Structure 1
Amino acid sequence: MKGKLKGAQQGHSLLKRKSEALTKRFREITQRIDDAKRKMGRVMQVAAFSLAEVQYATGDNIAYQVQESVQKARFQVKAKQENVSGVYLPTFESHLNEEINDFKMTGLGRGGQQVQKAKMVYTRAVETLVELASLQTAFIILDEVIKVTNRRVNAIEHVIIPRTENTISYINSELDELDREEFYRLKKVQEKKQINIAAEEAEEAEKKAALEADDEDDEETEETEETEDAEDANADTPTNKDETAPASAGKKKKKNKKKKKKTATNMQPTESEVIKEVDQLASQEADVLQDNEEDVIF
């Protein structure tokens, strides 16, 4: 779209220059047409007077004599083309062949001088007429081309360029919005990751602190039990095996309690393990009940 905008701006600049050049040439042609029309009026006035003089001097049969004496065209018109800012304008040039002179003997009896004067005056009139025709043709062509060029310039300036600029601004705004959305999304993802990491670290720290606290409690209980055992051993020394048996049984019970406590604190049973234990206890109770029933039967 930026390339299209640049091309439209360049085209607008070129068409603007073309319009200015054509307008300048159009004004020049308008001035020349005005001068040519004024000149044409004066020349045709003189030509009309000279023709009246010829008719008065030679009589009414001079037109027939002129038509009969003409063999070749003495006055010729050549057409050319002129390029003005890419516009080809036709130009007409008059060419007079001096070698051809079919009116040497015309008016030999009377009025010869008036005939030669009328010939010269009408030659200038035809030259002026050819120039005026060339200017009028160029005027009409330039008028149409200038209108078309100005319409194109206005269309590019007021329609194409603003529309392209609006499209570019819309695309830029959408791209900026997408960039902002992507940045916001990445920021939220990063924040969520940081929150999850912080939560995991806090959970690990809590677990670690709980394990350390359990270990400290176990150590304290072991120390207290050891001190109690030592005090009991120092206070009462057993005399026979029957007295040592309860003491050893008490120690075993304490150790079992400590192991159970440690396993209970270190291992947290899952839901499936709890269900499994419940099933085992139920099966054991069922077995005990069955044994009791059998005993009763017997």
Structure 2
Amino acid sequence: MAIMNVNPTRMEMSRLQSRLSTASRGHKLLKDKQDELVRQFTKLVKQNQDLRKEMEETLQKGMQGYVLASSSIPDYVLEEAFAIPLDKVTLDVQSKTVMNIEMPVLNEIYDDEKSEDRFSYGFMATTSELDLSLNNLSSILPLMLKLAEIEKSCQMMADEIERTRRRVNALEYMMIPQLEETIDYIERTLDESERATLTRLIKSIDVIEAGED
């Protein structure tokens, strides 16, 4: 590690010791932040895996039911069944702060009160498989929004972990060792200077005493 280009004085050494103390405290805080970020990230990844599994299972059930229903219901009946939607929904995007990271919060908002009717079609020309399919598919939207929210949060947290890791490494392997080596260099230089001064002083005293004799 290269020593910093500074004047080997006590004032400079005091200034560098103050910087070293600040860098050490900063390193500890950043290391604690990194550990907490990793803990939160691991928790989010587990939630993401569980939610994705739930959504895929729900989607699979919904599509299986739809395939069974469409095999026994004429196409024109299906088109008429889905011609008029019961509800109109929009996406609401908010945010929350976690470890100084602005993470998204996604929610569905219905323009009017949610319809009490479960289906927009009559039951004469449709089958129970279609009803079960739509029941499963209707729960997909909240799952999709939550999954998108968690996946984006994971991405943002991973980026923050990487930035924090680079800062921790810069302090741990560059700045702090460089400050320590520079302070050690100044201490050695000052010690050598003091010994040289003391040696000259002793010689001067010896010369003076020899002259008096």
TM over 0.5, yes or no? Answer: yes
Partner SS for 1:88: strand
Alignment correspondent of 1:292: none
Which of 184, 191, 194 lines up with 1:169 in the alignment?
Answer: 184
Structure 2 contact 88–112 (Cα < 8 Å) conserved: no
Residues 80, 11 of structure 1: CA spacing in aligned structure 2 closer, same or farther, 3 A cutoff? same
Residues 184, 68 of structure 1: CA spacing in aligned structure 2 closer, same or farther, 3 A cutoff? same
Partner SS for 2:206: helix
Structure 2 contact 85–120 (Cα < 8 Å) conserved: no
Alignment correspondent of 1:52: 67
How many equivalent pairs are there? 197
Partner SS for 2:181: helix
Structure with higher helix content:
1
Unpaired runs of 5+ residues, structure 1, are 199-298
Q: Does 1:111 align with 2:130?
A: no
- Name the stretch that deviates more: 100-109 or 173-182: 100-109
Residues 171, 20 of structure 1: CA spacing in aligned structure 2 closer, same or farther, 3 A cutoff? same
Structure 1 contact 47–121 (Cα < 8 Å) conserved: yes
Alignment correspondent of 1:206: none
Equivalent positions of 1:209-220 (< 5 A) are: none
Structure 1 contact 47–125 (Cα < 8 Å) conserved: no
Distance 2:118 2:79 in 1: 13
Partner SS for 1:90: strand
Structure having the higher Rg: 1
Distance 2:135 2:112 in 1: 12
> What CA deviation, in whole Å up to 9, does each residue of 1:217-252 have, x standing for no partner?
xxxxxxxxxxxxxxxxxxxxxxxxxxxxxxxxxxxx
Structure 2 contact 87–110 (Cα < 8 Å) conserved: no
Unpaired runs of 5+ residues, structure 2, are 1-15
Equivalent positions of 1:189-204 (< 5 A) are: 189-198=204-213
Equivalent positions of 1:75-224 (< 5 A) are: 76-95=90-109, 99-101=113-115, 105-107=120-122, 109-111=124-126, 116-198=131-213
Please give the TM-score of this superposition, normalised by the length of structure 2: 0.80
Alignment correspondent of 1:35: 50
Structure 2 contact 82–120 (Cα < 8 Å) conserved: no
Partner SS for 2:75: coil
Task: State the shift of 1:4 in Å.
Answer: 1.0
Distance 1:98 1:162 in 2: 63
Percentage of matched positions with identical amino acids: 22
Please report the RMSD computed on the Cα atoms of aligned residues, expressed in angstroms.
2.6
Partner SS for 1:110: coil
